[in-house]
Amino acid sequence: MCAARKSVVKGPSWFEVGFGAFLAILLGAILGALYLITRPVTKAKDLPKDAPAGAVYFLEGIKDYNSSHAEQKRKAFAAGESVSIEEGDLNAFLATAVKSGGDAKAKPGDKAPPHTDNLIELSALNVRIRAGTIQFGDTVSYNIFGFTGDVIVQSTGSFSRHGSTIEFDPDKLLIGGLPLQNFPFLRGWALHKFLFASTPPEDLVASWNKLVDVSIEGNTLKLRMP
């Protein structure tokens, strides 16, 4: 009788209490992240002077540009020449860039097929170069368990040498309104999953690996060869 009574009044163990608290914190973090990811992001050419506090903007780079001029820069770089590239050049090239799994022999002027893994679809990468920094942005369309929508992923930073290669160093990374720049693993995953999912042409990769310096001067990206 006493044993039965003790079993009835026995409460949860400290392990169970701690595990329950952990799950509650984890659930709160997930819900908070989802809320920030789905926050509205406004596309604009420039930041409004009266932008409300806390609003998230995506400032697009120039998209309508002479693609033949961009192709000339591409050929010069692939041939091993130092080049100075404006954001319009980059966006004209990226509009025709081949996403992973696409046709590696696509010609300039061809529209890039969207990158998709059945759950997400990426648009053409957009570049904006301003005041010594470069921004990469992409619109990610998702279809997960019947939930569909668009999320803008954007990252601003510069370039620096890491060992034998020159890589992009993000100062800011946003998925929707969720900042990830302070989380190295998630930051690297998001950059490669959403912004740099393309497979670059082999000739451009070979030329990039020969670079001695990549700098941003004003609104121009400078790629310097030996």
Residue-level pLDDT at 171: 95
Residue-level pLDDT at 48: 85
Residue-level pLDDT at 110: 44
Neighbouring-strand partners of residue 192? none
Residue-level pLDDT at 29: 73
Q: 14 in a domain, yes or no?
A: no
Q: 75 in a domain, yes or no?
A: yes
Q: 8 in a domain, yes or no?
A: no
Q: 155 in a domain, yes or no?
A: yes
Q: 152 in a domain, yes or no?
A: yes
**% of the chain at pLDDT higher than 90:** 38
**% of the chain at pLDDT higher than 70:** 84
Residue-level pLDDT at 31: 77
- The pTM of this model reads 0.80
> What is the total count of domains within the chain?
1
- Residue in the block written with tokens 């980059």: 90
**What does the alpha-carbon distance between residue 122 and residue 138 come to, in Å, rounded to a whole number?**
7
Q: 98 in a domain, yes or no?
A: yes
Contacts of 37 by beta carbon, 8 Å cutoff, 6+ apart? 151, 175, 176, 177, 178
Type of residue at 182? N
Phi, psi of 71 (to 5 degrees): -70, -35
Tell me the three state secondary structure of residue 151: strand
Residue-level pLDDT at 49: 85
> 27-36, 125-134, 149-158, 191-200: which has the minimum mean pLDDT?
27-36
CB 55 within 8 A of CB 189: no
**What does the alpha-carbon distance between residue 174 and residue 17 come to, in Å, rounded to a whole number?**
35
Q: What sign results for the dihedral spanned by CA atoms 194, 141, 105, 92?
A: negative
Task: Provide the residue range defining the domain that includes 194.
Answer: 41-224
162, 164, 146: which is closest to 210 by C-alpha? 164
Phi, psi of 2 (to 5 degrees): -65, -40
Residue 116 has pLDDT above 60, yes or no: no
DSSP label at residue 133: E
pLDDT band for position 115 (cuts 50, 70, 90): low
Q: 67 in a domain, yes or no?
A: yes
Neighbouring-strand partners of residue 116? 121
Q: 121 in a domain, yes or no?
A: yes
Type of residue at 89? D
pLDDT band for position 97 (cuts 50, 70, 90): low
Contacts of 146 by beta carbon, 8 Å cutoff, 6+ apart? none
